[in-house]
Amino acid sequence: MSATGSAATALDQRLGGAAFARRAIRKAFPDHWSFMLGEIALYSFVVLLLSGVFLTFFFKPSMAEVVYDGSYAPLRGTEMSEAYASTLRLSLDVRGGLLMRQVHHWSAVIFVAAILAHLMRVFFTGAFRKPRELNWLLGFTLFTLAMANGFTGYSLPDDLLSGTGIRLIIGAVQAIPLAGTYISFFLLGGEFPGTDLIPRFYVLHVLLVPGLMLALVPVHAIILPWVQKHTDFRRGRSTEKAVEGKPFFPVFMAKTGAFFLFIAGVTVLLAAFFQINPIWQYGAYSPTAISAGTQPDWYLAFGDGALRLMPGWDVTFAGHTLALGVLVPLLVITVFFTGLALYPFLEARLTGDRGVHHVLDRPRDAANRTGAGVAGIVFYGILWAAAGNDVLAETFHLSLFATTWFFRVALPAGPVIAFEVTRRICLGLQRRDMLLLKHGIETGIIVRELSGRYAERTRPLPEESRAALERDSGQAAIRAPGST
């Protein structure tokens, strides 16, 4: 036996990994395109980590005041924080620095977008049902951590745009009854703007939140899917007990390796040709400066939109002023995200479905769930669009008052309309499937029967199409209208 074989045998005798390796190599992975959404998130996370390590070599997380003397002439001689000055130096003086900054920012945008798309795929197909409720909670936690880490990273350069966002968040924190001022003083190390916020955000951004995500990602993406059976659509030979797919090695490994290179390549191309967050155009943050048209990264805009839509109402209770203009949006957003996190348990309770599911639903087969999902998207989308009400008003020459009231009316009405319209579309698609199976395909040929009645001639579905439709529909498409 060779030295390599002897070493492998010795390790297997002590660690017992050979049996696991054999099972892992043979594990079947379904190859439907929608399963790649989670891999986009995973590989964007890898690009984020690699580019972030490069940036830490040059960024200085300090709010100490310095006078800029770098190569960017318009800001030369300006007082600014060391964090902003080091970001300028990284962007304009370090070879490849701007490219890596933009790779990091673009990969963060792709990362959050991919997680959101992955969550929607899991939601609309019912992949969160028993026994995967824990994996849904882990995925939702990762989504929340990604948004939090995006905000802290967005805030680190200490430019005017990010400083405006920090000021908004500090104001929201200070509005929390009883604990708000204490939390604000803890974050700032004193009164606004303080000197400790950027260093503390830096620790959160490069250490605490990534550490939590590095711990949760393997559990969410590797361990639980490996222990549990992989989900698949009702197709081919896939059933509740078996999955039809390609083996992990070598097919899936080759595909996923190429996919990682594709994701990294697209991110670098975006960074090379599409500018993002040009901080030198904004200038250093100053508490006295006012900037118009400021917009956060897209995935945080819903919070800004909620604050813009709420009237500035205040009430006094027990000698304390409660800023309802801030507290109500925070409460609404908290309830929305809590309901989203607990949805698997809410659906199981409402429908009484406690069974184990490995085969996925088509969205049309769960009309109420699909309607609720689209309603949630519309709710989120209206808040997101409301964050740009001033930009929309200026661009399209509208009244800011009119745009604000449009979104105020659309916020409660839009989700209700979206739910009912989506539900009706799903029920219509269910009936269409049933009619195709029962009557066949319409030919457009009208014939007159012996009784004198006119009828359209139909032809049976091809056997392959009928089998696919029956398999996709399962029992769900035959359920009574209005069922979930």
Q: How many CB atoms lie within 10 A of CB 28?
A: 18
At 480 the pLDDT is 35
Range from 135-139, 202-206, 231-235, 364-368 carrying the lowest mean pLDDT? 231-235
State yes or no: pLDDT of 410 exceeds 70: yes
Give the model confidence (pLDDT) of 111-155 as tens digits.
999 999 999 999 999 999 999 999 999 999 999 999 999 999 989
Q: What is the pLDDT of residue 382?
A: 96
For 351-401, write each residue's pLDDT tens digit. 998 888 888 889 999 999 999 999 999 999 999 999 999 889 989 999 999
Check residue 133 and give its pLDDT. 93
Q: How far is CA 184 from the centre of its chain?
A: 28
The mean pLDDT value of the chain amounts to 86
- pLDDT for residue 5 is more than 80: no
Higher pLDDT, 319 or 324: 324
Per-residue pLDDT tens over the stretch 162-193: 888 888 888 888 888 888 888 888 888 877 77
CA distance 85 to 66: 8
| Tens of pLDDT, residues 242-261 | 667 777 777 777 888 888 99
Lowest pLDDT segment from 174-188, 449-463, 466-480: 466-480
pLDDT greater than 60 at residue 211: yes
Model confidence, pTM: 0.87
pLDDT of residue 236: 64
- Does the pLDDT value for residue 424 go beyond 90? yes
- Among residues of the chain, what percentage have pLDDT more than 90? 50
Tens digits of residue pLDDT in 31-75: 778 888 899 999 999 999 999 999 999 999 999 999 999 899 999
Which has more confidence, 355 or 240? 355
Q: What is the pLDDT of residue 322?
A: 85
Q: In the structure, what pLDDT confidence band is assigned to residue 16 with cuts at 50, 70 and 90?
A: low
- How large is the average pLDDT for residues 263-272? 96
Label residue 239 by pLDDT band (50, 70, 90).
low
- Per-residue confidence band for 482, with pLDDT thresholds at 50, 70 and 90: very low
